[in-house]
Amino acid sequence: MAFGKKEREAVSLQITKTENEKLKARVGELEGEVERLNRELERYRKDEANIAKALLFAQTRVEEMNRSAEKEFGTVRQAYLRELHDLERGIRQRRGELKLLEESAARILAGLQKDLAQMGDPEETPLPMEQMAIAGVESKPYTAYLEEEQNQPVEDSREELARLCRELGIVSGLEQEPQDEGEKKGEVMKGQEAMPEYDA
């Protein structure tokens, strides 16, 4: 059966109409997909803005915390440095005082040993540094004493040194011994009482 011209045109028109409807439906689907994608993109943009705000806030907060930590660390560091410098200064001062005390004690000991050597008394022994420290002997008075001793006779120096030993409570061999046997017999030893005498 042969189709005429009109039939062919009708069939072609029907095909075209069907294709157009399919295309319109596809276009509608694509438009819906575009709208969905646009909505998704808008949501992403909002999320991106929120994320950017949160990131900026976090960066600002971190910078503030860093500045605060640096300031606090600097304050604590300065305090520790000041304390360390004070301790070092105190140690240096104590070392200087100790050195002066050692030099003073050495001068006193050397002076006493020199005087005792010049006197030639075998019973007199040099004072240890500990006893001089306990006795409270100072360097300046003893230095002045040594200067005076250079201008005084040896006998006066012995008497002065014996007086100094008595004041310091040091047993000295410079005390004068009794002149005769009677005085020796009547002498009472230190720490003992005199024994009474009875007639036979």
Of residues 134 and 37, the one with the higher pLDDT is 37
**How would residue 186 be classed by pLDDT, with cut points 50, 70 and 90?**
very low
- Tell me the pLDDT tens digit for each residue of 40-64: 999 998 999 899 999 999 999 999 9
Task: Please say if the pLDDT value at position 141 is more than 70.
Answer: no
Q: How many beta carbons lie within 10 A of that of residue 137, not counting itself?
A: 20
Tokens of 113: 């040993």
Cα R_g (the chain), whole angstroms: 58
User: Over 110-133, what HEC string results?
Assistant: HHHHHHHHHHCCCCCCCCCHHHHH
The whole-angstrom separation of Cα 17 and Cα 24 is: 10
Check residue 117 and give its pLDDT: 81
- Tell me the pLDDT tens digit for each residue of 84-119: 999 999 999 999 899 898 888 888 888 888 888 887
Residues 6 or more apart in contact with residue 168 via CB below 8 angstroms: 135, 136, 137
Mean pLDDT of the chain: 73
With 0-12 / 13-18 / 19 or more C-beta atoms within 10 angstroms meaning exposed / middle / buried, residue 146 is: middle
Nearest to 123 by CA among 165, 160, 75, 179: 165
Task: Please say if the pLDDT value at position 1 is more than 80.
Answer: no
- Tell me the pLDDT tens digit for each residue of 14-40: 788 888 888 888 888 898 899 999 999
What is the secondary structure of 5-47 as a DSSP string? HHHHHHHHHHHHHHHHHHHHHHHHHHHHHHHHHHHHHHHHHHH
Of residues 131 and 72, the one with the higher pLDDT is 72
> Where are the domains positioned within the chain?
99-170
Give the DSSP letter of residue 179.
S
Check residue 57 and give its pLDDT: 92
